[in-house]
Amino acid sequence: MTFAALKLIDPLLRALQELGYDDPTPVQRQAIHAVLAGRDLMAAAQTGTGKTAGFALPLLQRLTMEGVVAPLGVRCLVLAPTRELAEQVYTSFRKYGAHVPLRFAVAYGGVPIEPQIARLKKGLDVLVATPGRLLDLLRQGALTFAQLQTLVLDEADRMLDLGFAADLDAVFAALPPQRQTLLFSATFPASIRTLAGQLLRDPVSVQASPANAAARTVRQLVITTDKKSKPDLFLHLLRERGWNQVLVFAKTRKGVDQLVGVLQQEGVRADAIHGDKPQPARLRALERFKARDVQVLVATDVAARGLDIQGLPLVVNHDLPTVAEDFVHRIGRTGRAGAAGEAISLVCADEVELLRAIEAVIRQVLPREEIPGFEAAHRVPSTGTPARAAQPAGRKVSSKSAPASKPGVKPVLKPMPKPPTKPAFAPSTPRPAGGFDPATPERARPPKRVPQGAVVVAGGRGAKSAAKAAAKSALPAPNKGPTRGRKKGSPA
């Protein structure tokens, strides 16, 4: 099937031809038809499958064919969780709409708001925005939604992960109830399904690929090492394997800056993207990386979604993400649109549980490798088999015991260890007569020394009476001699 078979108008087909796009992807084939028909849509697809074109192309066609925008008006609103993704979606609308008479703009924080307000005065056919900056514009009266036809939530799961739930509720309250709503999400947890139930009306559901699946064209590898060895190992691999362009993900902003500092000291052209960087600096770093002026771009998960880098050959996870699903988005920066790519993760022993969670999400155990000279002193445990369940405290079942599944056969129990000869007592507890703690089980008490010739009662019926009789017979007859002739230690 070609794009022409999807009944797109000529200006859009010409733009696609100039971009070198010939055949639509599965998600595009399903989404374009539904959006053109005016249906609400709930779509999931692995990253890099072209879902932006899946909603941008049909919306551009409908906006071109259906009227003109008024001043301060917005006809199509696209919400994105990060500045980078908002910028990417805006750029895609401009590319696909190069030959249609429509106005586009993007709005996000970290940059002055005045130019964004100026763009809104004449009205916009498409506004791509982050939720926080959109609310700022609404409160300043810079736009209205009286003409809104379509709302698009791109990467809706990420917006909820980043804590935008309250901002989204405020935005939804300002929108007209009669509209088309398109919800795109990489994962569909319960929170997203609840949101979809509130916003969508009889939606078309699109599942172009298994949830949380990485592209098959991406070769994945784990290299085990120690945490402190990661920067040196990365430098070794960078030089040894001749990497010309690599996107590196680190867990924290501080970790990003530290790695960039190490690389720059070694003469490597490196730059950083993270939340503490001003937006112009982030965009400048990305453009330099795309232009190959920067060899290594180090980023936090702020760049895990929204970076569309043509032909990126390699992604390296210097640190594993704390959210397993973010791993799929990280490595999805390579192997896009059917191209081949590689994803390498440097993993230390402290990250084995993160690795186990990632492998559970992607449903595969990743192959491992060790680099001579960088072997892990603290071995990274295997994740290929499930961990053995811990046995409960207390008695242990002997491995030589009969199986409990056989009827009438009880397992052999090992005796509990004996307590110390001199049990400890709490300071407030008086030592009881007899020299042992009455709370101690009888079988655990130390045996008493029995004087030679004494009568020992083993127990049983009448044992108490027999003991009394034996004790009475051992007493001397009354008034038969002075007490001083009694044996020392005998009863008085």
Q: What is the mean pLDDT of residues 107-111?
A: 91
Output the CA–CA distances (angstroms, integers) from residue 438 to 283, 342, 418, 427, 434, in the order listed. 75, 68, 15, 16, 9
Residues in the chain: 492
- pLDDT in the model for residue 51: 86
Band (pLDDT 50/70/90 cuts) for residue 335 is confident
Residue 271, helix vs strand vs coil: strand
pLDDT tens digits, 345-388: 999 999 999 999 999 988 899 999 999 999 999 999 988 744 33
Band (pLDDT 50/70/90 cuts) for residue 413 is very low
What string of H, E and C letters represents the secondary structure of 366-418? CCEECCCCCCCCCCCCCCCCCCCCCCCCCCCECCCCCCCCCCCCCCCECCCCC
Reply yes or no on whether the pLDDT at 450 is more than 90: no
Q: What percent of the chain has pLDDT over 90?
A: 51
204: how many CB neighbours lie within 10 A of its CB?
A: 17
CB 83 within 8 A of CB 279: yes
Quote the distance between the C-alpha of residue 423 and its chain's center.
49
Q: Is the pTM of this model over 0.75?
A: no
Reply yes or no on whether the pLDDT at 224 is more than 50: yes
Q: What is the mean pLDDT of residues 72-76?
A: 96
- Structural domains present in the chain: 4-207 (3.40.50.300), 218-369 (3.40.50.300)
